[in-house]
Amino acid sequence: MSTDSDPTGAVNEDAAHENAGQDVIAVDADDNEERLVNRLDAHTGDGIRHRAFTCLVFDGDGHVLLGQRAPGKRLWDTHWDGTVASHPVQGQTQKEATRQRLEEELGVTPDQYDDLRVTDRFEYKRYYLEEGLEWEVCAVLKCTLDDRTLDPDPEEIAGTMWVPYERLHEHPRWYRQLRLCPWFEIAMRRDF
């Protein structure tokens, strides 16, 4: 991976980030594809609205699996997410992208669930410190694990925690120290 540097020799951290060369799908407010845009461009300045997803993974007892974003993540590092979230690539369905991220980030394979489904979609825009922003049309997917075996990738997931979903929704102050990702909080609020 190459990095850019300024005249003083300092490395440009944005250019060094592993996702800087990737594209995301710019969309209109109705999630219709418009064009491909650079991922870093979509997440800096005023941002570019793009397609994304978040997946909420449950067990049979009504617990949701929270995944803590790894410290190396550029945005919302170390925050707790509703299992996994990412961006589909061009030509990939939300379900295909979700299956891929569940396996890559958590080692969860399709034989551990059989009910992956899209349950909601919403648009939001949130800034993160001085680092950037998310402006997404975000699909919400859900599934229930028959087998709770996990093998998290430490480059993606810093920790996991099973939490009673209704209790988390009803008592957000009890979980304030977790610093939840905004897209997960929106998805949960809309779900109840």
Establish whether 96 is a catalytic residue: no
Q: Which two tokens mark 58? A: 């449950």
Nearest-5° angle of CA 95, CA 97, CA 98? 65
Please report the beta strands in the chain, taking only residues with DSSP state E, as ranges in sequence order.
23-27, 33-38, 50-58, 63-69, 80-81, 84-86, 117-128, 132-144, 157-164
What is the rounded distance in angstroms from the CA atom of residue 128 to the CA atom of residue 125? 10
155: left (phi over 0), alpha (psi -120 to 50) or beta: alpha
User: What amino acid is encoded at 168 in this protein?
Assistant: L
In the set 134, 136, 156, 170, the catalytic residue is 136
CA gyration radius for the chain? 17
- Residues acting as catalytic residues: 136
